[in-house]
Amino acid sequence: MANFKDVQNVQPLADFNWDEFENGVHAEASKNDLTKAYDETLNKIQEHQVVEGTVISVDKKEVVVNIGYKSDGIIPASEFRYNPELKAGDKVEVYVENQEDKRGQLVLSHKKARLQKSWENINKALENDEVIQGYIKSRTKGGMIVDVFGIEAFLPGSQIDVHPIRDYDVFVGKTMEFKVVKINQEFRNVVVSHKALIEAELEAQRKEIISHLEKGQILEGTVKNITSYGVFVDLGGVDGLVHITDLSWGRVSDPHEVVALDQKINVVILDFDEEKKRIALGLKQLTPHPWDSLDAELKVGDHVKGKVVVMADYGAFVEIQPGVEGLIHVSEMSWSQHLRSAQEFMKVGDEVEAVILTLDREERKMSLGIKQLKEDPWEAIEVKYPVGSKHTAKVRNFTNFGIFVELEEGVDGLIHISDLSWTKKVKHPSEFTTQGAEIEVVVLEIDKENRRLSLGHKQLESNPWDEYEAIYTPGSVHEGKITESMDKGAVITLNEGGEGFATPKHLVKKDGTQAQLGEVLPFMVIEFVKDTKRIILSHSRTFEEVKDEPRRQRPANNKPKNDAAAINNVAAGTSLGDLGVLADLKKKMEGGK
């Protein structure tokens, strides 16, 4: 029991507000102060940030983590599967997803914390050009999948090593060092490289090797890669290229014929560029040039045998021994003058015999021929094809002035258009024959120097104009058919052969009508000129002559007093084609004077 004397000595608070106490105001203020003081003892956290927490407990389903907040967070144990040694008291990073869910529970994620931290580490590694470690999980198209900080990154096949990789599977399951070379922030893609690490080391090594290189230096290397255009050789940290033309003195169609991958070979340095880091190497230069070992007795005119190694439209290259080739131009494949393709005569791989036409040992060039194995047909052309001899030829092609024919390979001739027919007027040779057809010819002239023959076809028959001269005398009447009609007149084919021409004036019939195409009528010869092969005809004269018969029978001493008037009378009824008759009459008059 309290001492009453002590109670009497207690003095009341001078500033105590009894009214607030009675109304409960003082109690509410004290509560707020206490809450504020409590909140100040907790960590200040924000959502969507990564913080460090302490593991409170661990079981098969959940891991409870305290981050110094008013409530603990619960994280699924599956997010810690990578760390089976996790226990209470361990420090872990967590991502604050929500300060309170519907139940007032703090929502945390360890997986998202790791992912966000990984992206920060990866971006930092790219910025600082850091070397990081990664685990190669699996192989994929074109490269490998690498786990870096829990994120899957792509390792291209070309970035695994400085040497081409043939077996990717040997790298699966390995932990290697990498450099981050590219990040796509939008799609969260990461590309890493192992090659970049060793390239930096090799760069210094390359500079050291190149600084000691000299043209003509012989080095040992390993065949690193084989392409269609050459072979890449590893010279111990720096690569050089042996172009396909420098692999062998002979022609090489595929470098695999000469070397194999990983083969060790000796090469000679032909050239190098320190700035571009290009080194040109040679393999064939280590052996003597084949031209140097060519038979010294070999000369122009000798026969050689070889193999066709390259074909072109203009000729064929023949290898007579490895590294020594000669060209057979298409013009040296046949005596024929017709342009042809070399492929018509031979193909790659053919074994051929040829004659040496030119030989230049200094320039290392040789030209060959195969037509020289046969006799030149023009050497004895006048014996085989003498002037006047008859032969069968093949029509090669036409021109406006004649037909080119071939008597045999290498022997061509021309039939001029005027030598095709004695009687028919040929406007174009294609009217007379066809290309590829056979035609009979007569040799008219030989030009051995220019390798030309003049040929004729009409000369196979006698000249009918010799007979026509006796048949178609001026004034004679012959039956003929109008076979062609035109504005200036008509062409008449006469029954005895040959063709004549009549002007429209001389095509007037007795009834006054004009003779038509296809009619058969009698025609009188007004003019015959053998040299130009011209016959001028008139149908009108056949009946006009009958009318004037009594006058034609007058005695010779009863001639017109005025010869000039007679000429005018004749000219009035005569066309330009009758000028020959007028000329004869004029000569008679002049002779009389």
Taking the CB of residue 385, how many other CB atoms lie within 10 A of it?
21
Report DSSP state, residue 11.
P
456 and 469 both lie in a single domain: no
pLDDT of 524 reads 93
In the block, tokens 């009459």 appear at 585
- Geometric angle at alpha carbon 152, from 168 and 150, rounded to 5°: 125
- Residue 296's CB: how many other CB atoms inside 10 A? 7
pLDDT given for residue 149 in this prediction: 81
158/274 same-domain check: no
Q: What is the pTM of this model?
A: 0.42
- The set of residues, in sequence order, having a beta carbon less than 8 Å from that of 198 and lying 6+ positions away, is 161, 162
> What SS3 state is found at 34?
helix
Domain count, the chain: 7
CA 495/CA 256 separation, integer angstroms: 82
User: Look-up: residue for tokens 């071939």?
Assistant: 406
Whether residue 9 is contained in a domain is answered as no
The radius of gyration of the chain from alpha carbons, rounded to an integer in Å, stands at 58
Three-state SS at 144 = strand
Residue 148 DSSP SS3: strand
Residues 390 and 446 in one domain: yes
pLDDT at 578: 43
Tokens of 14: 């001078």
The reported pLDDT for the residue numbered 288 is: 84
Q: How many CB atoms lie under 10 A from the CB of residue 390?
A: 10
Specify whether 60 is located in the same domain as 82.
Answer: yes
For position 536, what pLDDT does the model report?
93
Angle at 370 between CA 368 and CA 372, to 5 degrees: 100
User: Distance (Å, rounded) from C-alpha 178 to C-alpha 197?
Assistant: 7
3-state helix, strand, coil in the chain (%, to 5): 25, 35, 35
Q: Which residue segment(s) compose the domain that 235 sits in?
A: 213-286
Is residue 479 located within the same domain as residue 583?
Answer: yes
Q: Which residue has the tokens 């008037």?
A: 565
- What are the pLDDT tens digits along the chain (593 aa)? 444 444 455 555 556 566 665 665 555 555 565 555 445 544 567 777 888 899 999 998 999 999 888 788 889 988 887 788 889 999 988 888 887 777 778 888 888 888 888 888 888 888 888 888 888 989 988 899 998 887 889 999 888 887 777 788 888 888 888 889 898 888 888 999 988 887 777 777 777 777 778 888 888 989 989 998 999 998 877 888 999 988 888 888 889 988 999 899 999 998 887 665 688 999 988 888 888 878 888 899 899 999 998 888 889 999 988 888 899 998 888 877 766 788 888 888 899 999 999 998 888 889 999 888 888 888 878 888 888 888 888 888 888 888 898 888 888 889 898 888 777 777 888 888 888 888 888 888 888 888 888 898 877 777 777 778 888 889 899 999 999 999 999 999 998 888 899 999 999 998 889 999 999 999 999 999 887 888 999 999 988 854 444 433 333 333 443 443 333 333 333 433 344 444 454 445 445 44
- Looking at residue 69, which CATH number applies to its domain? 2.40.50.140
Residues 358, 393 share a domain: no
- Within 10 A of 108 (CB to CB), how many other CB atoms are there? 25
Strands 239-243, 278-282: pairing kind:
parallel
- Give the per-residue pLDDT at 191: 93
> Are 520 and 486 within one domain?
yes
DSSP letter for 97, please: E
